[in-house]
Amino acid sequence: MTSTKHVTYQNLGWDSAADLYLPPDFDESATYPAIVSTHPIGSCKEQTSGNIYAHALAKAGFVTLAFDASFQGASGGTPRFIEDPSIRVSDIRFAIDYLSTLAFVDGDRIGAIGVCGGGAYTVHAAITDHRIKALTSITGVNFGRLMREGFSEFKPVTALQAMGRQRTAEARGSERHIINYLPESVAAGRKAGISDIDVLEATDYYKTPRGQQPNGATSGLFSFNSAAMGWDAFLHAETLLVQPLMVVIGDKPGGFGAYRDGWEIYSRAASTEKHIVVAEGWSHYDLYDKDEPVNLALASVIPFFTKHL
């Protein structure tokens, strides 16, 4: 049986909250490879990054740390619900810092995995933090590209202007404008005319007992989303991303763009050893928790990390 330990550690000016998943028959006097697991946008450590992927990796023998992003979940930082890519990537670095202080972790055998936005954040972290020796992106989404396109209705300059006005208003005392990335229910989404598979399946995951968790807020602070507009998760991957890379995507593309982004980073990465796993017949959100596609992914991911860590 795996076990889980709740931990906190220092981030910039606040604490990060995380769950440390430990392998079966864990021996504190032994030394283990370790993996940082990063959750999707609007998610939390108790969802797919933790209860699915971190748990499976721990069961396979890896010490795995699933953490809450700064300003989100049980981690500190105010104002709440900031989704700033540079800070999200910094969170991964602090998670590696924490793992490096643990006597039972081999600091030369640290890997990283992320789901959805967390997958692309993991890629970006690995581009310049080569303490990450191998990485996996599970249905990764480049949040900067998504903000410039679908999340701004393909009008990024108009969106930036609105964000700027809102941030000024908040600085002058107006109430924070926290947006929910998803409709209240699948039925409400369909009634509003939404047909995109990613939006509807995300709603089914986050807004029902299937995946719903108290800290999985699916929320973002609108006025701070401008930080993502000029950001590219894959910047300099052609030169600096040299570690072994595995990309997992479903072949049923949706509006969040994981299929497209997966092939892009697979193509752009300078890694001499890189792999792409396409889960045929499965979608972005199937890879969050559905047994068959998750097991298909893990059948490649676990041997990949075993080889490189």
Report the half-sphere exposure of 152 (CA within 13 A, side-chain side): 24
Confidence at residue 23, expressed as pLDDT on a 0 to 100 scale: 98
Residue 280 has pLDDT above 90, yes or no: yes
Structure tokens at 107: 């600091």
Closest CA to 185 of 175, 168, 199, 171: 199
Residue 1 has pLDDT above 90, yes or no: no
Name the strand (E) or helix (H) holding 169. helix 156-171
User: 248-286: buried (b, 16+ CB within 10 Å) or exposed (e) per residue?
Assistant: bbbebbbbbbbbebbebbbebbebeebebbebeebbbbb
Task: For 42-96, write each residue's pLDDT tens digit.
Answer: 999 999 999 999 999 999 999 999 999 999 999 999 999 999 999 999 999 999 9
Average pLDDT along the chain = 98
Task: For 234-272, write each residue's pLDDT tens digit.
Answer: 999 999 999 999 999 999 999 999 999 999 999 999 999
The phi-psi region of residue 38 (left if phi > 0; otherwise alpha if psi is between -120 and 50; otherwise beta) is beta
Residue 227 has pLDDT above 90, yes or no: yes
For residues 258 and 123, the answer to whether their CB atoms sit within 8 Å is no
Confidence at residue 197, expressed as pLDDT on a 0 to 100 scale: 97
Residue 139 confidence class, pLDDT cut points 50, 70, 90:
very high
Residue 14 has pLDDT above 90, yes or no: yes
The domains located in the chain, with CATH, are 3-144+232-308 (3.40.50.1820)
Confidence at residue 251, expressed as pLDDT on a 0 to 100 scale: 97
Confidence at residue 286, expressed as pLDDT on a 0 to 100 scale: 98
Residue 287 confidence class, pLDDT cut points 50, 70, 90:
very high
Strand partners, 178: 221
3-class DSSP state of 107: strand
Q: What percent of the chain has pLDDT over 70?
A: 100
Confidence at residue 50, expressed as pLDDT on a 0 to 100 scale: 98
Does the pTM of the predicted model rise above 0.85?
yes
Confidence at residue 40, expressed as pLDDT on a 0 to 100 scale: 98
Cα separation, 305 vs 309, in Å, equals: 6
3-class DSSP state of 103: coil
Residue 155 has pLDDT above 90, yes or no: yes
